Each structure stands twice: as C-alpha cells, then as structure tokens.
Amino acid sequence: MQGHDFLTGQEFSVAETRKLIELAEAVKKSPPAYQHALEGKTLAMVFQKTSTRTRMSFEVGMKQLGGHVVYMDWRQTNLVLGDLQDEVKCMARYADLIVARVNEHADLKAMAMASDKPVINGLCNLYHPCQGLADMLTVKEKLGSFKGKKLAFVGDGNNVCHSLLIEGALLGLRLSVASPKGFEPDQGIVEWAQGLTEVEVCREPAKAVEDADVVYTDTWVSMGQEAGVQQKVKAFQGYQVQAQLVPRKALFMHCLPAHRNCEVTNEVLDGKNSVVFDQAENRLHAQKALLLVLGGCVG
C-alpha cells in the first residue's frame, strides 16, 4: 500500500482495507507504540473548503506520529494564480504526503498525476474516503464484525454515501440507500459495490432501514450548495431520520456537521444509540493508520 494515492478508497483491495482497519484498531489501542513512526516526515494540507474534523484530526494525528504539518488555505497560495500541476510538483518536493480538500474530484486526480508523493482525498464533490474509513472503524468497534451486518443510508446520495458504499462493500457490509428521485447515488459506484456485496437503492426510508444494524444520514445541503437550500429541503420531506424510523437496537451515525431537526431530530442525534462523537473521534485513529501505511512505516 506504500506510495498509493487515496482518492476514492477503491485503490485498496479487500485484504488491504481489512488490514487498514486492523491497524487503526491497534493505533487506537496503543498510541505510544507509533509516536515516532513518522518522525522527520511532513504532511502538506491544502484546503479549498472549510473543515473542522478533517483538518484537526489530520494535524493532531500527524503530530502524534512524530511528523510535521504545513496547512495551506487554497485561497492564500499561488494555486489561485499558477498552474495546479506545477504548484503540486513543488509541494511534492517539500512534503512526504499531501492531503487535499477540494471542490472538484478532477482537481484531486490532477494533483495525484503531478505528485510523486501520495495524495489523500480530504473531501471532494464525489467522495469522502477518510470519513468512510472512520465509519468502518466505528462499525467494527461497536458491532464486533462486518459479516452479516447491514448499514442503511437515508438521504442525499452524496460524497459520504459514495464512500460508505465503497468502504462498506470492501469490508462485506450489506448496504441499502433511500434517496428521493434525482438525488440517488452514482449508478457506477452502486454497480461497483454490487460486485462485492448486497446493495439496494430505493425511495422509501422505512424499506431501507429494515433489519439495519446501522442507520446513517448526512446533511441535505452540502458545502457549496447553500444557494438551493429551500428547494432541496422540500425535495427531502419524508427523509428526516426520526426515532420511529430507527430500529430499536440500531446504531445511529452522522458524519457531522449536522443540521439539527432537519435531516435528523435531536432525539435521535442525542439518543442512546447515537455514536456520532465516537465516530468523529475515529477520524483521528483511522487517518493515523492511513498516514502510517502511505508513509511507508507499516507494510
């Protein structure tokens, strides 16, 4: 896995993905064992979009592994003036790893082509694979295994949904998605996931959550889509995750930030089955494992 980019999650095999989750568990259990692993290495973080969890978890994680971090706001660099690939080639001369949080996946692909160092997707319009890794670590931690377990996603078939389909399929979860017409996940990603596991896409949230071990939702209005908020909220009427929708023993997950009492009620978000803050913490541990692997410190 050393030297890979991590743009969608599909770069890793089933076996490699399982090893990555196992490493994340080990890193979480014994942080001191890895505290010097990336000593002398530098992570460049290039962010075109705002961030709380992605930025803080990568910065803290890299420092806990003994490395250094350089954070760059896209708007305050010459990425706004120069050629993207030229700028990235320069970054790769200074840094050992690059995390980019961008508007368009095409920019990530261009960055990966230009860089001879691993490029990690910190979020784009199509994928959020680091979130997916943390989500899978959380499922493993709470349910004990992936075998026979079902994750149901209710809401917009967006970047988070796509990464759940990819990472969930690689690890053998059964998957279901309920989205309104026009907001379904990408058909190509659905078909790819169906090549590995059972995947159902439907309109009815109640159908999607039948026998679910995990119910997951995300904001209906992603960053950069605020202009169409009223129309989108109207389209998603009936897709709010309420207490009566969630099976009694099912976990509730949300990648945050949440719009309270919009896509999910406070009762569910703050309920006893909600694991959203454990899930947020696991961004740190999952990303430390990813940095270790891509940085060549763990095979």
**Residue holding tokens 């989205």?**
179
DSSP assignment of 62-126 = HHHTT-EEEEEEGGGSGGGTS-HHHHHHHHHHH-SEEEEE-S-HHHHHHHHHH-SS-EEES--SS
Cβ distance 103 to 76 under 8 Å? no
Catalytic site residue from 5, 64, 96, 128:
128
Catalytic site residue from 213, 255, 279, 297:
255
Catalytic site residue from 64, 107, 130, 131:
131
131 is catalytic: yes
Catalytic site residue from 53, 174, 283, 285:
283
Catalytic site residue from 162, 218, 254, 279:
218
128 is catalytic: yes
Burial readout 193-225 (b: 16 or more C-beta within 10 A, e: otherwise): beebbebbbeeebeebbeebbbbbbbbbbbeee
255 is catalytic: yes
Catalytic site residue from 5, 48, 64, 101:
101
Cβ neighbours of 34 (radius 10 Å): 21
Give the catalytic positions in this structure.
Answer: 101, 128, 131, 218, 255, 283
